[in-house]
Amino acid sequence: MGDLRIVVCGGGAANGVVGLIQEATRRGWSVDVTATQSGLDFFEKSEVARASGKPVRTTYKFAPDGRRISPPADGLIVAPATFNTINKLAAGIADTYPLSSVAEVIGRGVPTVVVPAVNSALAARLPFRRAIDDLRSEGVRVLFGPEDGWEPLPPGQNDPRKFPWLRALDLVEEAFGLTTVDQVGVPLRA
């Protein structure tokens, strides 16, 4: 299938990434996980590394055992994508390894799905709404809004169990298939 990069930010849903890794692996993806510094506080690093088979990357440094951690991505999912990361990403800020690597992957035209995890108060902010529009206009698939069945709830009402991890995987696979057809004229997948 290819290499799927998952970038995990500091949101309450982050812990569910293990389920995504397991399903993506089952579907034939090789998965590697990058986390923001805040994201590391939200899941058990060793559990995620065990599920993906690779160390979780947060900085430009390689893994302690010297292995190269992140293969070039064929697909990218940023989830849960925080208010902070979405706004910075759309504005082109690349002051951390996760932000700069995502910026580059998007710039390479790699199929990318961003799944915001924001409450309705944050979603109402103009910088956020502009960021979503800007990312979409760059071809990023932002899974968000009534048409996607993923809408922000008032602060304190979020249920991390409802986070649409598998829908993000379906969407990146759809985009992956389309991109492959566009680039070489034949679908990679049957």
Ligand X SMILES: Cc1cc2nc3c(=O)[nH]c(=O)nc-3n(C[C@H](O)[C@H](O)[C@H](O)COP(=O)(O)O)c2cc1C
Cβ closest to ligand X, residue 83 vs residue 144: 83
Question: Which window, 7-15, 48-56, 106-114, 168-176, contacts ligand X (CB under 6 A)?
Answer: 7-15
Q: Which is nearer to ligand X, 16 or 80 (CB)?
A: 80
Query: At its nearest, how many Å lie between ligand X and the CB of residue 188?
Result: 32
C-alpha 7/C-alpha 105 separation (Å) is: 11
Nearer to ligand X, 117 or 175 (CB): 117
Alpha helix (H) ranges present in the chain? 17-26, 45-52, 83-91, 97-107, 120-123, 126-137, 165-184
Cis ω on the peptide bond leading into residue 160 (within 30° of 0)?
A: no
Binding to ligand X (CB under 6 A): which residues in 129-188? none
Q: Which residues contact 167 (CB under 8 A, 6 or more apart)?
A: 143, 148, 150
- CA 19 vs. chain centroid, Å, equals 14
Nearest to 135 by CA among 150, 116, 151: 116
Indicate the residue among 90 and 175 with the shorter CB distance to ligand X.
90
Q: Choose the stretch contacting ligand X; rule: CB under 6 A; options: 33-41, 61-69, 162-170, 171-179.
A: 33-41
Q: Which residues have CB under 8 Å from 36's CB, separation 6+?
A: 7, 8, 9, 10, 58, 82, 85, 96, 98
Instruction: Report the residue from 52, 58, 82, 112 that binds ligand X according to the rule CB under 6 A.
Output: 82
* Residue 11 touching ligand X (CB under 6 A): yes
Given 15, 30, 84, 179, the residue binding ligand X (CB under 6 A): 84
Nearer to ligand X, 39 or 111 (CB): 39
Q: Which residues bind ligand X (CB under 6 A)?
A: 9-12, 36, 38-39, 80, 82-85, 117-118
